[in-house]
Amino acid sequence: MFLRNRFVQKLGGGFLEQFAVRTWSRLLFRALGSHKEKDVVKLLRKIQRERKSLLTAFEAYLVYSVARAQTKRPGDFAEVGVYAGASAKTICEVKGGKTLHLYDTFEGLPPTSEKDAGVHRTGQYACSLESVREYLQGYPDVHFHKGLFPESAEGVEETTYAFAHFDVDLYESTMACLDYYYSRMNPGGIMLSHDYSLLDGVKAAFQEFFVDKTEEIIELPTSQCMIVKL
Ligand SMILES: C[S@@+](CC[C@H](N)C(=O)[O-])C[C@H]1O[C@@H](n2cnc3c(N)ncnc32)[C@H](O)[C@@H]1O
């Protein structure tokens, strides 16, 4: 555990992290290319080249695939943790007529708590709202909510959801996402989170939140987990 945390901390946010994600993804994209739709693999590769992102090729594929499936369910789409907009663009590519709500401080991570095991630093993964807005221009019905989530969700409390993607790295932010979205997900709606098996704070939030719920945490072979709302 200690070694894993040190490893993630060392990679955190810089050139090394991007290098590791891209090098590993090169292999994973090859694997995907051998049996998935060529156009989808090409698109995800292009997005990874365009923007800094922490999603490996398989993780990006899962975001794409789950979002695409959820277009058939009632409700809006949301992402908390946008950074430079790579996963948001992936969702935009498949969302069709769905409304997408994007939440980020656009000033990087808020302060960490003890449960985050010192892996991140405040302000890490900052990317300006203007830059992400420009990157996603042309996609209809995309709403940007700048500020600390969940305070930044003021005004859309009545909205319900078909798909919510969380990529917030921290215990308190993950807990805020679960607290906010759980009751707003429509039956069959999916919450997908990055870093469940990689970051202690993210895992702790999921495990604490779902201890008394009917839904099971579905752990995926990537770092992700998902919940299907009953
Ligand atoms: C790892 S990055 C997201 C990566 C992105 N999904 C991608 O495709 O590369 C984590 C993001 O979560 C945001 N974040 C974390 N906690 C937050 C909170 N409580 N409110 C708003 N943004 C938050 C940070 O600002 C940061 O941009």
Residue with the bigger pLDDT between 217 and 16: it is: 217
- The packing angle between helices 57-70 and 15-33, to 10°, is 60
Average pLDDT of the segment spanning 105-109:
98
Provide the pLDDT for residue 159: 98
Average pLDDT of the segment spanning 23-47:
96
Residue pair 75/189 in contact (Cβ under 8 Å)? The answer is: yes
Residue pair 60/110 in contact (Cβ under 8 Å)? The answer is: no
Q: How many domains does the chain have?
A: 1
Provide the pLDDT for residue 14: 72
Structure tokens at 8: 């993630």
Average pLDDT of the segment spanning 167-192:
98
163 alpha-carbon distance from chain centroid: 11
Provide the pLDDT for residue 4: 52
Provide the pLDDT for residue 1: 53
How does residue 209 score in pLDDT terms, banded at 50, 70 and 90?
Answer: very high
Best residue among 25, 105, 112, 128 to mutate for probing ligand 1's pocket (most ligand atoms within 8 Å of CB) is 105
Atom number, ligand 1, closest to the C-alpha of residue 127 = 27
Provide the pLDDT for residue 117: 85
Report the CATH number that the domain containing residue 150 is assigned in CATH: 3.40.50.150
Question: How many whole angstroms from 108 Cα to the centroid of ligand 1?
Answer: 7
Cβ(110) – ligand 1 distance below 6 Å:
yes
Structure tokens at 21: 């994600």
Residue 2 predicted with pLDDT over 80: no
Range of the domain at 56: 2-228
Question: How many whole angstroms from 35 Cα to the centroid of ligand 1?
Answer: 31
Which residue's alpha carbon is nearest to atom 11 within ligand 1? 81
**DSSP code of 217?**
P
pLDDT in tens, 65-104: 999 999 999 999 999 999 999 999 999 999 999 999 999 9
Averaged pLDDT score across all residues of the chain: 94
Provide the pLDDT for residue 17: 83
Average pLDDT of the segment spanning 28-50:
97
Cβ(195) – ligand 1 distance below 6 Å:
no
Single-letter code of the amino acid located at 228: V
Residues sharing a CB contact under 8 Å with residue 26, sequence separation 6 or more, in sequence order: none
Best residue among 9, 92, 101, 109 to mutate for probing ligand 1's pocket (most ligand atoms within 8 Å of CB) is 109
Provide the pLDDT for residue 132: 98
Name the nearest CA neighbour of 201 among 110, 77, 126, 127.
Answer: 110
Neighbouring C-beta atoms of residue 155, cutoff 10 Å:
9
Residue 52 predicted with pLDDT over 70: yes
Provide the pLDDT for residue 18: 85
Best residue among 119, 173, 180, 222 to mutate for probing ligand 1's pocket (most ligand atoms within 8 Å of CB) is 173
How does residue 5 score in pLDDT terms, banded at 50, 70 and 90?
Answer: low
209 alpha-carbon distance from chain centroid: 18
Average pLDDT of the segment spanning 192-202:
97
Among 6-10, 31-35, 49-53, where is mean pLDDT lowest?
6-10
How does residue 146 score in pLDDT terms, banded at 50, 70 and 90?
Answer: very high
Collapse the DSSP code of 128 into the 3-class scheme (helix H, G, I; strand E, B; otherwise coil) and give the result: coil
What residues form DSSP beta bridges with 179?
none
